[in-house]
Amino acid sequence: MSNQTVIIPYKPRSIWKHEIHKGIETHRFSVIVAHRRFGKTVGSVNHLIKMALMCRLPSPQYAYIAPFRVQAKQIAWAYLKYYTSVIPDRMVNESELYVELPTLHTNRQGARIYVKGADNPDSLRGAYWDGVVLDEYAQFKPEVWNEVLRPSLSDRNGWAVFIGTPKGQNAFYEMYQRGISDTSWYTCKYTVSESKLIPDDEIADMKASMSEDAIRQELYCDFTASAFNVLIPIDSISDAKSTVVKPNDMLHAPVILGVDVARFGSDRSVIVRRQGLAMHKPLVFSGVDNMRLADIIAREIDHHKPDAVFIDAGRGEGVIDRLRQLGYRVSEIPFGGKALKDNKYTNRRAEMWDTMAQWLRGGGSLPDDEELCAELAMPEYGYDAKGRILLESKDKMKERCGRSPDLADAAALTFATPVRKHNGVSATSNRKLVANTDYQPF
């Protein structure tokens, strides 16, 4: 391809021209948080085109990646073809969704820009990438970036731009926070009031037909607004973190321990203590076997004299048996077992989590533990054919979020059944604990 002038039919908005394009062109990693109709797709597609045209390396490869291939095609493919249509001899591959620009090197392919979906990580694996745009990164599986894309950028010092609109505090939020804390990254956030791109009458019309949370997310880029199907809203968690429970308010409340036992190598065992409206900082253990964990729980029982100890029965059989051998009274709770209110919940885990959500709304206090608070906001919910609350499974959450909600599940276990305070009688005694089902635990 001989040197010639090519004018791409792209007229960037002022914000893109004077701020964003300059930022993402001078930084290897960038995060753009912006409201709907900000022009994220058009701007990022043209960034890909410019970088591909300017690259002098042999056979450059770039990609625009959305959560799903069909979504990526619908959003970006037409834009990519339109804006590259003025480039002489550019080729379009409709089956593999890429455009190829004229080559600068003999017997080598030209720069290619692909449209890809993160739902097929294998299509991204094994290739080098000179630059990628990740749209709505919150919906990506964590391994797509950590195990596939990030290593593939290392070969040729490739760059990445993350773009999206907030939907709770998720992987996209974490990437934004990382960008803010790292001066080598470029980060920006634009709300409708800052960009001035949407007319006031259109904003008013949108607000009239949208929920408050949707307005906060879609128009004002508020990461603290909850996603629509999240069981525990972030606002409830924030309120609970700032709630202070006085010691006198806990005197007559039962002390309860919840224990979530690790299932797999990357999971952790967690102990959470709650007394009435006060939840204490979780104790987290990695790589401990059942016998060692039983000893740790026994120590906590001896120290705090809980009125009840609830342990996940899924992987806690050995721990439960050992504690009972030592004379401690503990209760095994099957997460997948029948709910106490079977007409309302699909299983025991959904019931405990919803009870915890009610406790938070009723004035519950959370410790200053970022990991616990993040996990509490993770699970999504729906309804089964009988109209009962169906909570997202632990495995599904781990696949979607990249980690198991071990701390939050331990916290939920403290709501397994109503418990009353037993003066002078605790889990260290061999006397049988009787739950008063009429007693409200918070």
Q: What is the DSSP string of 59-70?
A: S-EEEEEESSHH
For Cα atoms 84, 120, 182, give the angle at the middle one, nearest 5 degrees: 75
Here the tokens at position 69 are: 């291939």
Position 435 in a domain: no
Position 295 in a domain: yes
End-to-end CA distance of the chain: 74
Same structural domain, 78 and 191: yes
Looking at the whole model, is its pTM more than 0.75? no
Instruction: State the pLDDT at residue 377.
Output: 84
Instruction: State the pLDDT at residue 396.
Output: 81
| Residues 309-357: tens digit of each pLDDT | 999 998 888 999 999 999 999 999 999 999 999 999 999 999 999 999 9
Same structural domain, 68 and 187: yes
Domain that holds residue 294: 231-414
Residue 273's closest CA among 248, 286, 255, 297? Answer: 255
Domain count, the chain: 2
Q: Tell me the average pLDDT across 218-231.
A: 79
Give the pLDDT band (50/70/90) at residue 426. Answer: low
Q: What is the dihedral of CA 346, 349, 352, 357, to 10 degrees?
A: -90
Give the pLDDT band (50/70/90) at residue 20. Answer: very high
Position 276 in a domain: yes
Measured in degrees and rounded to the nearest 5, phi and psi for residue 317 equal: -60, -45
| Residues 33-88: tens digit of each pLDDT | 999 999 999 999 999 999 999 999 999 999 999 988 989 999 999 999 999 999 99
- Lowest mean pLDDT segment, chosen from 110-119, 228-237, 424-433: 424-433
Final residue belonging to a domain, choices 220, 247, 280: 220
Alpha helices in 259-401 (DSSP H): 290-304, 317-325, 348-361, 370-376, 394-401
Same structural domain, 181 and 310: no
Judge whether residue 3 has pLDDT over 90.
no
Position 423 in a domain: no
Alpha carbon distance 140, 65 (integer Å): 10
Give the pLDDT band (50/70/90) at residue 440. Answer: very low
CATH number, residue 315: 3.30.420.240
Same structural domain, 129 and 271: no
Final residue belonging to a domain, choices 172, 197, 220: 220
Same structural domain, 96 and 187: yes
Instruction: State the pLDDT at residue 310.
Output: 98
Instruction: State the pLDDT at residue 228.
Output: 60
Give the pLDDT band (50/70/90) at residue 370. Answer: confident
Angle between helices 406-413 and 348-361 (to 10 degrees): 80
Same structural domain, 174 and 271: no
Alpha helices in 63-146 (DSSP H): 69-72, 78-84, 142-143
Give the mean pLDDT of the chain. 90
- Lowest mean pLDDT segment, chosen from 259-263, 391-395, 427-431: 427-431
Position 107 in a domain: yes
The half-sphere exposure of 366 on its side-chain side, counting CA atoms within 13 A, is 29
Alpha carbon distance 279, 411 (integer Å): 8
Give the pLDDT band (50/70/90) at residue 180. Answer: very high
Position 428 in a domain: no
The half-sphere exposure of 415 on its side-chain side, counting CA atoms within 13 A, is 24
CATH number, residue 37: 3.40.50.300
Surface-to-core class of residue 86, CB atoms within 10 Å of its CB (0-12 exposed, 13-18 middle, 19+ buried): exposed
Final residue belonging to a domain, choices 220, 246, 281: 220
Q: Tell me the average pLDDT across 93-97.
A: 97
Judge whether residue 1 has pLDDT over 60.
no
Please report, for residues 135, 143, 175, 271, 393, the alpha-carbon distance to residue 398 in angstroms, rounded to integers and kept in the order given.
21, 11, 18, 20, 9
Same structural domain, 259 and 397: yes
Judge whether residue 438 has pLDDT over 80.
no
Same structural domain, 171 and 242: no
Same structural domain, 197 and 293: no
Position 157 in a domain: yes
Instruction: State the pLDDT at residue 31.
Output: 98
Same structural domain, 193 and 257: no
Judge whether residue 131 has pLDDT over 60.
yes
Same structural domain, 215 and 252: no
Position 364 in a domain: yes
Same structural domain, 311 and 350: yes
